[in-house]
Amino acid sequence: MDVIIQRINGLWHLIVGSCQIRTPFLETQHRSLVVAYARQVYPGAKIHERD
């Protein structure tokens, strides 16, 4: 499974397949927090970042 991390409208979002999931993290917070969150929610997924 691939999970894409993207900044949209000032928040970090996870994109899984065709679903876009808003995270509780602001764009100004570190990407490592979002990666840790994504690994907790989707264990074993490949994490990618898109600008």
CA separation for the pair 17, 29 (Å, rounded): 24
> Position 44: which residue type?
G
pLDDT digits (tens, 9 = 90+) for 29-49: 999 999 999 999 999 999 998
Whole-prediction pTM: 0.83
Predicted confidence (pLDDT) per residue in 20-31, tens digit: 999 999 999 999
What's the pLDDT score for residue 16? 94
Q: Name, in order, each residue with C-beta under 8 angstroms of 42's C-beta and a sequence gap of 6 or more.
A: 1, 3, 14, 16
> If you compute the radius of gyration of the chain from its CA atoms, what whole number of angstroms results?
10
CB 26, CB 11: distance < 8 Å: yes
Predicted confidence at residue 50, as pLDDT, reads 84
